[in-house]
Structure 1
Amino acid sequence: MALPQLSAPRLAIDGGPPVRDGRTPWPEWPQRADDAPQALLSVLDSGRWAISSPYRGELAERRFAAMFAEYTGTRYCVPTDHGSSALVIALESLGLEHGERVLVPALTWTASATAVLRAGLVPVLVDVDPWTGCVGPDAVDPTVDARALLVVHWACGMADVPALSSVTDPLGMSVIEDAAQAHGARWQGRAAGSLGRLGCFSMQQGKVLTCGEGGAVVTNDDALAPVLEELRADSRRYRPTPREGALELVDTASTMGSNYCLGEFASALLCSQLRLLDRQHAVRNNNYQRLAAALSGVSGVRLLRHRPEQDRLSLYEIPIVFDPLPGDMGNAWVADALSAELGVHVYTPRVPLSRSPLLRPWTKPTVTPLADRFVAVHRGRTYPGAEYLSSHSILLHHSAFLGGERDMDDIAAAVEKVADRIRSRTARPRVGAAPLEVGHE
């Protein structure tokens, strides 16, 4: 017998009235610190626009490095021009042999894998937990014989780096945290980026800490820190004692490097923005808790699961997972429907790297030998957790959480409205059924 169709309000995507008045603006991004213009002008008038300039007083780059090391609770910070560059020099600093393997989550931005190739290594994709979006200890396959694990803190969650390290340490694998989406997140009081051997950050425009384009590597490893300096500054390190009028970088040349240096304007901007970051975290995290409470009773919808050890969130992208979705209502449709209801860009995650058009090393002749190994090691591998999150979740940018309670109420109302439509098309909704089917609880 056919089940009766449940009534559902007409969606804005179908011509119905939207949840949010189009005249009500959303917070914009980026938001500059009040003293950002003065910080940039101070660089403009300093005569030092790059770290390769003669010494005339402290560089903004060195000031930011000290501030960010303190913020992450690490001894060293080496700024870079991009987050991708941070990943490359972190991998190079390990001194691995050409062609050795590095584990990389299947659900992340392509730079996590392409940086491995740029470092002369082979990325091996591993699946993520569909409840957390992060790699767990069960994903570490010792038969792969990898020498490093690049663990990504995804969207607004943190991977369990201590548990991962307990598996990787006996295998001789170094853990590098890709914390590009986790500035200020904490695990039992320790900052993201400080839990592994190295931590890498991106300061690209969309990130919660931004200077337009930038990056950084942090570490507590006394041996790796000077190597990182050389790898990002053409084999040069800072002078122990600067001299007026002399170049601040000297040719120490223990290893061959490249030029990945962060400029002074970007460094000065980061100094200003970093002082603003925790106040922004407080606003976003309070709003997230309000949204979580509002969605807790909506059937067929869930947020990422955060481990209790993660005692501070850093919201970069906020996934909302729809369990399940009818075949004719994919998450791209959900994203369009929510965008129409809210008047803000709602979007889907990228496809897993195993299917990404951005990760095709065989198209680049200079990495052909690595590409052949990449293709060979991935034959027959599947990524059900990554595939599930990629096809069942939608994302909101963190800027939407810099507003007030009304904004969260509107998001909740729009999600419930769309979920009602989905339920009306689903005979027997079972919350979380599909993730359980791929072997996770």
Structure 2
Amino acid sequence: MTYSMTQPAELAVAGGTPIRPSTRRWPTWPIPAPEAESLLREVLHSGRWAITSPEGSELFERRFAREFARYLGVRHCVPVDHGSSALVVAMEVLDLQYGDVVLVPALTWTACATAALRAGLVPLLVDVDPDSGCVTPEFLDQDVEARALVAVHWACTMADVPALTAAAEPRGMVVIEDAAQAHGGEWRGRQAGSMGRLGCFSFQNGKPLTAGEGGAVVTDDPTLAPRLEELRADSRRYRGTSAPPGDLDLEESATIQGANHCMSEFNAAVLCAQLAVLDREGEVRSRNWRRLRELLAGVPGVRLLEPRPEQTRMSMYEATIVFDELPGAMTIEEVAGALSAELGRRFYATDTPLHRSPLLAPWTKPTLAPLAKRFVDLHAGRSYPNADYWANHCVQTHHSAFLGDERDMRDIADAIAKIVTARGPVVEGQASAHGLG
């Protein structure tokens, strides 16, 4: 039974009856693909647990690189240990100079900015589009000479990478496409991650394509691919020919100094299995997202974050519900706490924008002092009204909620309607008192 907006009821967070009974479970995550267990056993008994193992059967790392590149329609894929590492080596491979500026959207995870600092560069935060939450050409800073742009696909929307490239290249900027939240998404038929000079992915535990941890850099540029291999494997790349018996598949090519960011064989094997179910799971999420949109059509002041028409296939990492009109005197954190109490799963405000985030604080590391000073100087007097709006009006939940069925979508819609029409505001601190803030 759909919740009636004409009958306000007491919120669960204030002691009322929740919309969803505790006996009804939400889909779990991660979900092992059918082949995952057998591939892990194969690694376990192969004698090859890392790409630095002696030669033998084909490495799963190489198999995943080949299959993921084919899936994306790119020529090269270099797996790494984390999505943050993917961003670091992508920046390092561009031969930028120490202290060069990299544009980073203010509305994203901190790793996009801290990766620049780790690569000896200075992140400059730019505001985002009020409709998509992604960077668009009009928000590229014109007053600072930047050398690269991290174009982030956010939550369930994609940045217009072709338009950003057209705006950035005449100014000498390289576009690094951050597709860490967009596995399987498409822009006018092109896969997320395949449109920038370099594309970066994360396979962290919560991502739609996951191995617990992991990442990858992809590119069509044949000059960058071998250097990316060196940057992630202590200056070594794969041999052009078969390794001698008992030797490694890597050779000490050493054209650029690298570090160890290698993906383990266990993670690579899991990714080979999970890639096979990525699109099928994505279709379920998209179908449920469309249904929720229909159910919320009559709820005033509430909408779903919607991809642009050019986004021909949706990918969802975090489902984003926009409360343009906050209910009563509630803050967005209180709205999130109220939804959590009604539905028995975590809903939360989006990440604090980077210009206010305590996670981005380069001045706390003495070795970053010169970069930190430039970072502080560059940001003096800047403001980010659109990023702040998203942060103050968005509630998100993990994509696994959308792997269920229509009944789950009805529960979400009913909970939102109940909160919008609630009797009186939530008392400050009430959500956290229930352990749901």
Smaller-chain TM-score range?
Answer: over 0.9
Post-superposition shift, 1:355?
Answer: 0.9
Matches within 5 A, 1:107-186: 107-186=107-186
The secondary structure found in structure 1 opposite 2:267 is helix
The CA distance in 2 between the partners of 1:383 and 1:60, in whole Å, is 43
Matches within 5 A, 1:272-287: 272-287=273-288
Deviates more, 1:170-179 or 1:127-136: 127-136
The CA distance in 1 between the partners of 2:229 and 2:386, in whole Å, is 37
1:430 maps to: none
Post-superposition shift, 1:166?
Answer: 1.3
| 1:266–1:216 Cα change, 3 Å | same
Matches within 5 A, 1:231-270: 231-243=231-243, 244-270=245-271
2:66 maps to: 66
Post-superposition shift, 1:326?
Answer: 6.0
| 1:35–1:212 Cα change, 3 Å | same
Q: Is 1:392 paired with 2:393?
A: yes
Asked if the contact 2:33/2:274 (under 8 Å) is kept, the reply is yes
Post-superposition shift, 1:10?
Answer: 1.6
Matches within 5 A, 1:377-388: 377-388=378-389
1:431 maps to: none
2:309 maps to: 308
| 1:115–1:327 Cα change, 3 Å | farther
Deviates more, 1:130-139 or 1:327-336: 327-336
1:47 maps to: 47
Percent identity, please: 61
2:429 maps to: none
Q: Return 5+ residue gaps in structure 2 as ranges.
A: 1-5, 426-437
Q: Which residue identity lines up with residue 215 of structure 1 in the other structure?
A: G
The CA distance in 2 between the partners of 1:414 and 1:325, in whole Å, is 14
2:86 maps to: 86
Q: Which residue identity lines up with residue 245 of structure 1 in the other structure?
A: G
Q: Which residue identity lines up with residue 276 of structure 1 in the other structure?
A: V
Asked if the contact 1:89/1:231 (under 8 Å) is kept, the reply is yes
Asked if the contact 1:101/1:145 (under 8 Å) is kept, the reply is yes
The secondary structure found in structure 2 opposite 1:90 is helix
1:348 maps to: 349
The CA distance in 1 between the partners of 2:294 and 2:365, in whole Å, is 48
2:332 maps to: 331
Q: Deviations over 1:305-360 (max 9, x none)?
A: 31111010111001101012268311110001111111111111111101111100
The secondary structure found in structure 1 opposite 2:55 is coil
The CA distance in 2 between the partners of 1:395 and 1:31, in whole Å, is 21
Q: Is 1:26 paired with 2:26?
A: yes
Matches within 5 A, 1:347-386: 347-386=348-387
The CA distance in 1 between the partners of 2:171 and 2:297, in whole Å, is 41
Post-superposition shift, 1:129?
Answer: 1.5
Q: CA RMSD for the aligned pairs?
A: 1.3
The CA distance in 2 between the partners of 1:391 and 1:363, in whole Å, is 27
2:435 maps to: none
The alignment's TM-score, normalised by the length of structure 1, stands at 0.93
2:413 maps to: 412
Q: Deviations over 1:194-233 (max 9, x none)?
A: 1110000000001111111100001111111111011000
Q: Is 1:11 paired with 2:11?
A: yes
Post-superposition shift, 1:149?
Answer: 0.3
Q: Deviations over 1:154-189 (max 9, x none)?
A: 001001111111110110100001110001100000
Q: Is 1:209 paired with 2:209?
A: yes
Q: Deviations over 1:83-128 (max 9, x none)?
A: 0000000000110000000000001110000000000000000011
Post-superposition shift, 1:13?
Answer: 1.3
1:229 maps to: 229
Q: Return 5+ residue gaps in structure 1 as ranges.
A: 1-5, 426-441
Asked if the contact 2:232/2:260 (under 8 Å) is kept, the reply is yes
1:436 maps to: none
Q: Deviations over 1:66-90 (max 9, x none)?
A: 0110111110000000000000000
The CA distance in 1 between the partners of 2:283 and 2:246, in whole Å, is 43
The CA distance in 2 between the partners of 1:39 and 1:326, in whole Å, is 49
Asked if the contact 1:187/1:311 (under 8 Å) is kept, the reply is yes
| 1:37–1:72 Cα change, 3 Å | same
The CA distance in 2 between the partners of 1:112 and 1:162, in whole Å, is 20
The secondary structure found in structure 2 opposite 1:421 is coil
Asked if the contact 1:142/1:171 (under 8 Å) is kept, the reply is no
The CA distance in 2 between the partners of 1:132 and 1:8, in whole Å, is 32
The secondary structure found in structure 2 opposite 1:293 is helix
Asked if the contact 1:102/1:122 (under 8 Å) is kept, the reply is yes
